[in-house]
A and B are shown apart, each in its own frame.
Chain A
Amino acid sequence: MMSPVPSESAPRFEKVLIANRGEIALRVQRATREMGLRTVMICSEADRDAPYRQAGDEFVCIGPASPRQSYLNQAAVLLAARATGAGAIHPGYGFLSENAAFAEAVERAGLIFIGPPASAIRTMGDKIAAKRAMIEAGVPCVPGPDAALPEDLASIAAIAEGIGYPVIIKAAGGGGGRGMRVVHDPSALGDAVSVTREEARRAFGRPDLYIEKFLAHPRHIEFQVLCDEHDNAVWLGHRDCSMQRRHQKVVEEAPAPAIPADIVAAVGERCANACRKIGYRGAGTFEFLYEDGAFYFIEMNTRLQVEHPVTEMTSGIDIVREQLRVAQGLPLTISQADVRTYGHSFECRINAEDPFTFAASPGTITAAQFPGGPGVRVDTHVTTGYRVSPHYDSLIAKLIVHAPTREEAIRRMRVALADTAIDGIATNLPLHRELFAEPAFCAGQTDIHYLETWLGERKK
């Protein structure tokens, strides 16, 4: 149902609590301040001396270093919002951003959750319900039933035969590469089902599984959407996030190379339509596998993505600003006709980790130097002297470039990587430098297995 458009002069909230840390907390804070809103940054004891503490209006510690006792502690976040008089909570990504119960708790507390309705988070968090919703909305899905697997193995085997091997068994409550197993022939089906079911029970609190056709060499392509309360939904182009290691994205780019524009446009429109059908609000991402000219929906992320900057660079739209406007009840500033993507953008995730073993590398950064110049953006919270905590994700910076063509963007990224230096800890900068010199990657000839294969050969 459409809501009346509130007046910009009478906003729903004037102060935003940012329930996150690191680069995304700073990213959200900047957009919030640009809109003339006041900000509250929260932190754990480990982040007490974060450099961004000086940037916002208020900065308050809510708990010990352990994420469970701080950034994942719903009560502590809500009490901090109450204590500081925040009218809205932006969850960033990770932590509480896709927690439907938290979104509900925020609304119950009389605050605005800067994200989709809890019902949409819940639907999309259940992979079976999400798939059903997408099929109803006409979004192409991976072959396989939109229902949980039955208990008896004979029925499961019949379903697998119907789909055709190889198949993949997935936990309905899973995501991020956890709780899934590929089955290449019938003899391995029984073990795969029982192990995945037990894993799902332990990791996600529910044993429901589903089954899909396993695509052998797909690319990971995703569509960014933005929706408001007034039945407006737009898609802002697509991204290729195929460069993954253990399901963790390492490099992202927009647009995805070499996919015909008419196919992209058709899927993008269906994503926007699906959002209208499910009453979606705010920013979201539809993730697809793409193989042999066809898209297959895998999941929807009901939050801001780490890689949102590449879409911002090609579309010129500040996604966080639009999130804030939508949460104020305002309509999107753009219609689909206004969306014009230009050029090519890459993002390298700079992680505090060994570039060969990928072991986390916490410690103090003794010197940090980041690049600049036209078409270069660095989203980071670290500076010289910053101590990388062992308690959190190892992402310390996102290096983003934009140029008129993919080839120029690659050259720009090579220079940007060469101009980046982080001393005192190990980072994956050497990996990125090698990757941007790799012919197949530079030619756009990759799939989701490319990076792991390349890493395997590199080790030899």
Chain B
Amino acid sequence: MMKGRKRKSGSLTAQMLDPATLEQIALWLEGAGVASIEIETEDGRLVRIVTGEDAALRDAGVDPVAAAPVEPHSVRPAKSQIAGHFLPVHPARDAAEAAIGASVFPEQIVGFVGIGPLIMPIRAEEAGTLRACTVGPGDLVGYGDTVFLIEPAQ
């Protein structure tokens, strides 16, 4: 299944963030064989729409569709420390360590990188709110790649 990344220069209206609209877009994408797309708006919003089995993530607490509006300069990245495939949920657990919108503390595990049987954690560098996940489940990530965006606590 293809993975698409779309940069849109026009504005993304609130209507488009309506769950029903997103559901319809997801169905269209799935029909077109697209696994996910990202839409970055002029005002700094990052929206990921995930289709098919990848959408099961939403049930695990990581809901890329529901990415909250994020001001680019107000967030800090949580980065992968190793090259591997992004795992939002540890294979031995049922739920993600932290859901989008949840508060996180320094060094808290927020996701994982898998290399075969080896599972390495991705940790929050500081306290704040988990605002967005910038990659899709199973995506190849490298050392230093941003995987989550965290809005620092005031």
A79 touches B140 (CB 8 A): no
Cα distance A59–B142 when bound, in Å?
A: 8
Known: A79-B83, A79-B84. A64 touches B116 (CB 8 A): no
A79 touches B144 (CB 8 A): no
B83: A residues at CB distance < 8 A:
42, 60-62, 76, 79-80, 83-84
Residue-by-residue, is A61-88 near B (CB-CB < 8 Å gives 1, otherwise 0)? 1111000001000001001101110000
User: Which single member of A43, A63, A83 contacts B140 (CB below 8 Å)?
Assistant: A83
CB proximity of A56 to chain B, nearest CB, Å? 12
B143 touches A83 (CB 8 A): no
B118 touches A45 (CB 8 A): no
User: Does A151 touch B at the CB level, under 8 Å?
Assistant: no
Known: A76-B82, A80-B83, A83-B83. A62 touches B115 (CB 8 A): no
User: Which single member of A58, A59, A64 contacts B143 (CB below 8 Å)?
Assistant: A64
Cα distance A84–B118 when bound, in Å?
A: 13
B142 touches A61 (CB 8 A): yes
B142 touches A62 (CB 8 A): yes
CB proximity of B82 to chain A, nearest CB, Å? 7
B82: A residues at CB distance < 8 A:
62, 76, 79
Count chain B CB atoms within 10 A of each CB in A58, A59, A64, A83 and give the residue with the most: A83
A76: B residues at CB distance < 8 A:
82-83, 143
Count chain A CB atoms within 10 A of each CB in B84, B116, B142 and give the residue with the most: B142
A42: B residues at CB distance < 8 A:
83
CB proximity of B137 to chain A, nearest CB, Å? 15
User: Which single member of A43, A45, A58, A83 contacts B84 (CB below 8 Å)?
Assistant: A83
Residue-by-residue, is B86-116 near A (CB-CB < 8 Å gives 1, otherwise 0)? 0000000000000000000000000000111
User: Which single member of B84, B85, B114, B143 contacts A63 (CB below 8 Å)?
Assistant: B143
Known: A60-B83, A76-B82, A76-B83. A84 touches B140 (CB 8 A): yes
CB interface residues, B 100-154, toward A, < 8 Å: 114-116, 118, 140-145
CB proximity of A63 to chain B, nearest CB, Å? 5
B140 touches A58 (CB 8 A): yes
CB proximity of A191 to chain B, nearest CB, Å? 46
A45 touches B115 (CB 8 A): no
User: Does A48 touch B at the CB level, under 8 Å?
Assistant: yes
A58: B residues at CB distance < 8 A:
140
Cα distance A48–B145 when bound, in Å?
A: 10
A83 touches B85 (CB 8 A): yes
CB proximity of A263 to chain B, nearest CB, Å? 50
B142 touches A82 (CB 8 A): no
Cα distance A64–B114 when bound, in Å?
A: 19
CB interface residues, A 6-53, toward B, < 8 Å: 42-43, 45, 48
B143: A residues at CB distance < 8 A:
45, 61-64, 70, 76
Count chain A CB atoms within 10 A of each CB in B83, B84, B140 and give the residue with the most: B83
Count chain B CB atoms within 10 A of each CB in A48, A60, A70 and give the residue with the most: A60
Cα distance A82–B141 when bound, in Å?
A: 13
B140 touches A60 (CB 8 A): yes
Cα distance A386–B96 when bound, in Å?
A: 40
B142: A residues at CB distance < 8 A:
43, 59-62
A59: B residues at CB distance < 8 A:
142
Cα distance A45–B116 when bound, in Å?
A: 23
B116: A residues at CB distance < 8 A:
82-83
B144 touches A45 (CB 8 A): yes
A61 touches B145 (CB 8 A): yes
Cα distance A76–B83 when bound, in Å?
A: 8
A83: B residues at CB distance < 8 A:
83-85, 114-116, 140
Residue-by-residue, is A239-266 near B (CB-CB < 8 Å gives 1, otherwise 0)? 0000000000000000000000000000
Residue-by-residue, is A107-149 near B (CB-CB < 8 Å gives 1, otherwise 0)? 0000000000000000000000000000000000000000000
A84: B residues at CB distance < 8 A:
83, 140
User: Which single member of B115, B141, B145 contacts A79 (CB below 8 Å)?
Assistant: B115
B144: A residues at CB distance < 8 A:
45, 48, 61, 64
Cα distance A63–B80 when bound, in Å?
A: 10
Count chain B CB atoms within 10 A of each CB in A64, A70, A79 and give the residue with the most: A79
CB interface residues, B 32-83, toward A, < 8 Å: 82-83
Chain A residue at minimal CB-CB distance from B116: A82
A45: B residues at CB distance < 8 A:
143-144
Chain B residue at minimal CB-CB distance from A61: B142
CB proximity of A132 to chain B, nearest CB, Å? 41
Cα distance A84–B114 when bound, in Å?
A: 11
Cα distance A45–B79 when bound, in Å?
A: 13
CB proximity of B79 to chain A, nearest CB, Å? 10
CB proximity of B73 to chain A, nearest CB, Å? 21
Cα distance A83–B80 when bound, in Å?
A: 13
Binding site for A on B (CB under 8 A): 82-85, 114-116, 118, 140-145
30 residue pairs of the A-B complex, CB under 8 angstroms, read A42-B83, A43-B142, A45-B143, A45-B144, A48-B144, A60-B83, A60-B141, A60-B142, A61-B83, A61-B142, A61-B144, A62-B83, A62-B142, A62-B143, A63-B143, A70-B143, A76-B143, A79-B84, A79-B118, A80-B83, A82-B115, A82-B116, A82-B118, A83-B83, A83-B84, A83-B115, A83-B116, A83-B140, A84-B83, A84-B140
User: Across chains A and B, which 9 residue pairs bring their CB atoms closest together, nearest first?
Assistant: A61-B142, A60-B142, A83-B84, A83-B115, A80-B83, A60-B83, A61-B143, A79-B115, A62-B83
Given A70-B143, A79-B82, 14 more pairs with CB closer than 8 A = A43-B142, A45-B143, A58-B140, A60-B141, A61-B142, A61-B144, A62-B83, A63-B143, A76-B82, A82-B115, A82-B118, A83-B84, A83-B116, A84-B140
